[in-house]
Structure 1
Amino acid sequence: MFSARKMAARLLLAGSFAASLGLTAVSAQAQSVIVRSTGPSATVYPQGKKLAVNAKVTLKAGDKLTVLDKAGTRVLSGPGSFTLDGSVSRDAGAATRVASAISANGVRTRTGAVRGASLTPRTGSASGPDSVWYIDVSKGGAYCVANPSSLVLWRPNRSEEAAAKLTPVGGKPVAIEWKKGNPLKLWPSAALPVVEGGRYIFSDPVGPSVTLTLHLLASVPTDDLAVAGLLADKGCTAQLDVFANAATPAVGS
Structure 2
Amino acid sequence: MVWAKRAAALGVAAILGVAGPALAETLVVRASGPSARNYPPGAKLADGGSLLLKAGDVVTLLDAKGTRTLRGPGRFGVTAAASAAPASNVTLAALLDTKRVRRARTGAVRGALGEAPAVAKRPNLWLVDIAQPGALCVADPAAVRLWRVDATKPLSLRISGGGVQAAASFAAGETIAAWPATLPVKDGASYRLEAGGRSSDIRFALLNAADTGLDGTAAALIAHGCQAQLDLLVETAAR
User: Separation in 1 of the partners of 2:208 and 2:148?
Assistant: 26
- Secondary structure in 2 aligned to 1:196? coil
* Residue number in structure 1 paired with 2:107: 122
* Residue number in structure 1 paired with 2:93: 99
- Secondary structure in 1 aligned to 2:24? helix
User: Separation in 2 of the partners of 1:160 and 1:79?
Assistant: 50
* Residue number in structure 2 paired with 1:8: none
Distance 1:96 1:163, change over 3 A: same
* Residue number in structure 2 paired with 1:138: 131
Do residues 216 (structure 1) and 206 (structure 2) align?
yes
User: Separation in 1 of the partners of 2:157 and 2:39?
Assistant: 32
- Secondary structure in 1 aligned to 2:192? strand
* Residue number in structure 2 paired with 1:188: 180
User: Separation in 1 of the partners of 2:174 and 2:39?
Assistant: 33
Do residues 32 (structure 1) and 27 (structure 2) align?
yes
User: Separation in 1 of the partners of 2:147 and 2:93?
Assistant: 19
Equivalent residues of 1:123, 1:181 under 8 A apart = no
- Secondary structure in 1 aligned to 2:88? helix
1:159-216 per-position Cα deviation (integer Å, ceiling 9, x unaligned)? 3222222111x52432222122222122112x21212210111222264x32211122
Q: What residue identity is the alignment partner of 1:142?
A: A
Q: What residue identity is the alignment partner of 2:190?
A: R
Equivalent residues of 2:136, 2:203 under 8 A apart = yes
User: Separation in 2 of the partners of 1:237 and 1:103?
Assistant: 19
Q: What residue identity is the alignment partner of 1:234?
A: H
Do residues 72 (structure 1) and 66 (structure 2) align?
yes
* Residue number in structure 1 paired with 2:221: 231
Shift of 1:48: 4.2
User: Separation in 2 of the partners of 1:202 and 1:55?
Assistant: 45
Percentage identity across aligned positions? 26
- Secondary structure in 2 aligned to 1:242? helix
Distance 1:47 1:239, change over 3 A: farther
* Residue number in structure 1 paired with 2:233: 243
User: Separation in 1 of the partners of 2:150 and 2:179?
Assistant: 18
In the TM superposition, 1:142-161 aligns within 5 A as 142-161=135-154
Distance 1:32 1:205, change over 3 A: same
User: Separation in 1 of the partners of 2:238 and 2:191?
Assistant: 34
Using the size of structure 2 for normalisation, the TM-score is 0.70
- Secondary structure in 2 aligned to 1:228? helix
Q: What residue identity is the alignment partner of 2:231?
A: D
Structure 1 unaligned segments of length 5 or more: list them: 1-27, 107-113
Do residues 201 (structure 1) and 192 (structure 2) align?
yes
* Residue number in structure 2 paired with 1:6: none
Could you say what the CA RMSD is over the residues aligned between the two structures, in angstroms? 3.2
Q: What residue identity is the alignment partner of 1:153?
A: L
The count of aligned residue pairs is 207
- Secondary structure in 1 aligned to 2:169? strand
Equivalent residues of 1:73, 1:95 under 8 A apart = no
Distance 1:126 1:211, change over 3 A: same
User: Separation in 1 of the partners of 2:38 and 2:227?
Assistant: 13
Structure richer in helix, relative to its length: 1
